[in-house]
Structure 1
Amino acid sequence: MDILMIVPASLLVFILGASIGSFINVVVYRLPAGLSVLWPPSRCPHCLNQLKAYDNVPVLGWLWLRGRCRYCKNKIAARYPVVEAVTGIIFVLVFLLFKVSILTIGYWAFCSWLLALSLIDLDTMTLPNQLTQSGLVLGLIFQIVIGFFPEGSSVGAIKHLMMGIVGAVLGLWLFDAIALLGSIALGKTAMGAGDAKLAAMMGAWLGWKYLLLAGFMACAVGALVGGVAIALSQRRFGQKIPFGPFLALGAAIALFGGEAILSVYQGLFFPVT
């Protein structure tokens, strides 16, 4: 794509992503509370006044209001525009990597699910079944679609579907096994059931090979962050931390750099002679 087209296209993609990020904020707030994510329209959580359309513009609305509700003047958390901006950036990165394709649309959805689940896990230490299960189903549908197009091959669709199913089953079994072994070693629950369900969802989207890479990266980064937090006395040994965000980060690393990482790994340990 010509550079003159990339810049305006990326801007439009960022706006789309930021708008999706605004909806992710709604999902993260309402879903754990058992509220509808569609009704009522966006409103201040303090005074419950409905936001005007121009106040609800992603990122800019928060800046215009200087981080405070127009009506009650209570502070609006800075996380709202941050999530919108981060979602916009993720959408642009996916677009630049996969261009105008079915892959781009699919991975926009995948990353949105990962972000929503990560934020909910950070807030509540839970990973809602509504998101992990719907994300898994979408991942399998995605595999069918990319296997069928562009050649229109039913054989390709079945092959990709099986790859997604194997990845989902492996993710569920692997992290269930890790949870069991961890619980035996620590003498208490080491990992929530939602983590295994998230891993299954990731496997449906990424396939078994990239799932293993994502799981390894999640465990490595999680161990590093946990070790640093303990060293800085921010957490005690054995204290629970949400693992969902680390799984999501591992999935993002596998999505954006998995091919390069596996190529380097193969070159180091299994060089072609």
Structure 2
Amino acid sequence: MSSIYAVFIGLLGLAVGSFLNVAVSRVPEGRSVARPRSACPRCGTPIAARDNVPVVSWLLLGRRCRACRVPIPARYPLLEALTGLLFAAEALRFGPSEVLPAVLVFTAGLLALAACDAERFLLPRRLLYPTLGLTAACLLAAAAATGQWHRLGVTAACGAGGFAVFFALHWVRPAWLGFGDVRLAGLLGTGLGWFGPWYPVLALLAGSLAGLLVAVALMAAGRATRHTRLPFGLFLAAGAIAALLAGAPVVRWYETLGDPYATGAALTTVGR
């Protein structure tokens, strides 16, 4: 049943990914995501329903518009497929739990923001604030359903803490961080704080490390310099999703370091 559930959530993710493509294309330009209906940006031909099936239509059309044959960017199927895969993975990770809607909303928003940052070096407030509001609302519903109200306090503290830390970095050296990254840090703290304070810390560290490694690799290959701009929001979003899916064993391992009894038990288990 868990596999069937994951497949169902994954199919939902494909549909959500299709909507995210519309948001990524329109929101940075100040256009509505509701109307007009999707059309080819070059010839203006409306996209028929048969040509709007996530991933499949892109492949069947040979990666080109049916009318004018202009190439369709690979970002469209990639974002759809990635959303579907992550939704399915999170369904397996969290199951049909009360917190899963918040996780899915949070992930969808991060993917849209990451795509905007990768393409335009922009983290639109019209995407970030709705993601923050919907994630918070879903977490509030999860607290009401489970009675775990204390988690909301941790969530709020992590959101405020992430924002404050990045705000301080931005204030000390504005060239290091754009203010969009400051807002994004607040979103990461809010979305991950439900699981504990170490999750947003892990996400920020993982995202920063990923950005550093990519920068070093690009400089080593001669494709970037110390002054080359990189989409830091993309790496922060990747770190947050990694923390959601794989952060639990890392956090448990770190917590055992301060507990000699837990550490001893872990070593005994390994010895067996």
Deviation of 1:139 (Å)? 2.8
Q: Which residue of 1 aligns with 2:269?
A: none
Matched, 1:89 2:85: yes
- Cα deviation digits, residues 196-227 of structure 1 (max 9, x gap): 10110111111133111111111111111111
What secondary structure sits across from 1:191 in the alignment? coil
Matched, 1:38 2:24: no
Letter in 2 for 1:265: Y
Q: 1:195 aligns with which of 178, 181, 196?
A: 181
Matched, 1:266 2:249: no
Is the deviation greater in 189-198 or in 97-106?
Answer: 97-106
Could you say if the C-alpha distance between residues 269 and 223 of structure 1 is closer, same or farther in structure 2, counting changes exceeding 3 Å?
Answer: farther
Matched, 1:137 2:141: no
Distance 1:113 1:169 in 2: 19
Could you say if the C-alpha distance between residues 142 and 8 of structure 1 is closer, same or farther in structure 2, counting changes exceeding 3 Å?
Answer: closer
Over the residues paired in the alignment, what is the CA RMSD in angstroms? Answer: 1.6
Where has structure 1 moved over 4 Å in runs of 4 or more? none
Question: Any gaps of 5 or more consecutive residues in structure 1?
Answer: none
Tell me the percent identity. Answer: 34
Is the deviation greater in 53-62 or in 257-266?
Answer: 257-266
- Cα deviation digits, residues 151-195 of structure 1 (max 9, x gap): xx4xx33x23222211111011111122334x2xxxx62110010
Deviation of 1:8 (Å)? 3.7
Work out whether residues 202 and 239 of structure 2, in 8 Å CA contact, stay in contact via their aligned partners in 1: yes
Deviation of 1:53 (Å)? 0.4
Distance 1:6 1:101 in 2: 12
Question: Any gaps of 5 or more consecutive residues in structure 2?
Answer: 265-272
Deviation of 1:269 (Å)? 5.4
Distance 2:171 2:224 in 1: 23
Output the TM-score relative to the length of structure 1. 0.90
Q: Which residue of 1 aligns with 2:118?
A: 122
Deviation of 1:268 (Å)? 4.0
Work out whether residues 14 and 80 of structure 2, in 8 Å CA contact, stay in contact via their aligned partners in 1: yes
Q: How does 1:146-161 map to 2 (within 5 A)?
A: 146-150=142-146, 153=147, 156-157=148-149, 159-161=150-152
Letter in 2 for 1:160: R
Q: Which residue of 2 aligns with 1:170?
A: 161
Letter in 2 for 1:195: D
Output the TM-score relative to the length of structure 2. 0.90
